[in-house]
Amino acid sequence: MQPPQNNQIIQWIKQSLLHWDALQQRAGVLKFYISTAQNLCSLCSPFFLGMFGKLRNYHSLIAIAIALGSTPVMSLELTREFLSDKQMAQYEELVQLTDPEGNHYRYRRALKEVIDPAYADFCIPWIAVHLKELHLVLHANKRADNSKKQTTHQFPTVHPLHGQAQGSFGILTPRSGAF
């Protein structure tokens, strides 16, 4: 499940594409999102390699990928005809990035790809995949350590940030009385 802020971004992208009746305007918006994705992250493809891979913002990249892979956007076949072969290849690779096959191996492969070694330890991950992993690990450890009678309330929970700076991330905080 995507965080609510990501859902808003996904809806905004879809609406901005579907807003235009003219094919050329719609294609221009589609090209903009492909270019934005290229600037957010480098994918494991020569199309996305280059000087723009430094941001490594997979969270926003996935929001764009989900929106562009949605049924309403995928049905815009005439719009995609305005894309060059290179842009079409980028579009297809972007949409495939969210494929859950092989425990999201395309995303994990992209996560390992680093253009500039100075940024190897820095990225904004696709948080939903990692939270799912964390949940599975915590659940497995709970079953394995039944002798201590651990319950889920002893593990940290994710709370969204509040206020003006609210983003798509949460902070880990223990529940009261957990420790």
pLDDT, tens digit (0-9, with 9 covering 90-100), for 93-144: 999 988 989 889 888 888 887 777 777 788 888 888 888 889 888 888 876 5
**Domain range for residue 135?**
127-173
**Greater model confidence, 133 or 159:** 133
Tens-place pLDDT, residues 74-88:
999 999 999 999 999
- Of the pLDDT bands very low, low, confident and very high (cuts 50, 70, 90), residue 154 is low
Do 146 and 73 lie in one domain? The reply is no
Q: Is residue 38 part of a domain?
A: yes
Say if strands 157-160 and 170-173 run parallel, antiparallel, or are unpaired: antiparallel
Do 10 and 90 lie in one domain? The reply is yes
The per-residue pLDDT for 162 is 39
Do 73 and 134 lie in one domain? The reply is no
- Rounded to the nearest 10°, the torsion over CA 6, 10, 11, 14 is 170
Do 45 and 87 lie in one domain? The reply is yes
How many domains does the chain contain in total? Answer: 2
Do 110 and 131 lie in one domain? The reply is no
Do 114 and 142 lie in one domain? The reply is no
